[in-house]
Structure 1
Amino acid sequence: MITQPIFLVGPMGAGKSTIGKLLAAQLGLPFADSDKVLEDRTGADIPWIFDVEGEAGFRRRESEVLKDLCTGEPQVVATGGGIVLMPENRALLKAHGFVVYLRASLDQLVERTSKNNNRPLLQVADPKAKLREILLQREPFYSEVADLVCDTDDCSPRQASTMVSDRLLSSVET
C-alpha cells in the first residue's frame, strides 16, 4: 500500500509527466505536475517566468510548490528537472516521499525534447551540449535522492510506468 507521495525526478525529456500520469492511473492515485501547479498558481507559463524573474526566481517559486506537494498525501508527482539543484529541495524529497529517478540517455533526451519549445534552458544554439551540461551537473543529485532508479530508454511510456509500478510495489512490500 502506498502511504506517501511518489516523486518522479530526472532531466527534461526523461518522461516524468507522461509516465507519471500512467503510473498514477495504475496505482489509483492522484497526479500532480509541479511545473503545471506553478503555472496555474502564477497565471504565467514557465518561459515567461524565466524571462521576467530569471532562473533564480523560477527556482524559488518551484521550491514553494514542492513544499506544498510534500503533504504526505499519497499521490504521484512529476517534478521539474532542476528541482534537485537546491539542497533544501533534495531534503524535502527524501523526507516526504518515495523518489523515483527516471534515467534516460543523452541521445534519448535530445530526441524527446527536440520538438518542444517550452523548455527555456534549451533555447540555445546547441541543445545537445546544453543537455549534456545539465546531466553532468544534476545526475549526482538525482542519484542522491533516488529510492529507485528506472531506465526509460528502451521502453514505451506504458512499459516504463508498469516497470516503475512493479518495482515500487515490490520495494514497498519488503
Structure 2
Amino acid sequence: MTVKQLLVSVLGAMAFAGSANAALLSSTTTGAGNVVTDYSTGSQVSFDLDLAQLSHTSLTYTVEAADLANPYLSFNALVRNLSGSALHGFALYLDGIAFGPANGSVTPAFGSVGTVTRTDGKLAITFSAPEYAELHIGNPVLEADKFDWQLATAGLAVGDRFVITSAVPEPGNLTLMLAGMGACAMLRRRRK
C-alpha cells in the first residue's frame, strides 16, 4: 500500500467516524459577549457556556441517527459566570425534547445550591449563597460521584430539532419563585 493510499484510507475513516456524532449543534442565539463551545459526541450533549452577560442563550440541535441508538442522551454543561455579577439562580428550558427520569448533579464552584427543581421541560436551580464563578450541570469534568442528566429521545426521528435555552432569573423573579414555592409547601403541609 502506498503512502497516498494509506492517507486516503485514514481520511476516509475519519470522515466516516465524524458523521456518527451525536446531536449536531445547528445554531445558537446568545447575548452580546456570551460564548458557546459544543463538545457533543456519541450519545452525549455537552457544552460550555461563558456568560459575559446574564442573558439567555438558545442552542438548537439536530438529531442524528447515533442519538436514537439509546432511549436517552447523556447531558452536561459547564456554565462560567464571567459577568462579575452574583448568580442567584439559573434555568434550562427544553423544547422538542424532555428530561429523562434520572436526576443528575448540580455543582457550583463557590456558591451553595438551595433548590433544584426539574420537570420534563425545565431545570430550575436556585442558590442559597450566590455563585460568582462557574456551575457544573451534570458531570462535565468527570468528577467522582457526579452524574449527567438525561434527555429522552422517545418520539424523535433523524432530522428533528430540539432547543436548550438557558436563562438567569432576575433577583425579583427569583424572590417571586421562592415565595410561590413556599406557598405551595404551606398548602401541602396543611393538606396533611
Q: TM-score range by the shorter chain?
A: under 0.3
Hey, which of these two has a bigger chunk of helix by percent?
1
Q: TM-score when scaled to structure 2?
A: 0.24
| Structure ranking higher on relative contact order (CA contacts 8 Å, 6+ apart) | 1
Hey, which of these two has a bigger chunk of strand by percent?
2
Q: TM-score when scaled to structure 1?
A: 0.26
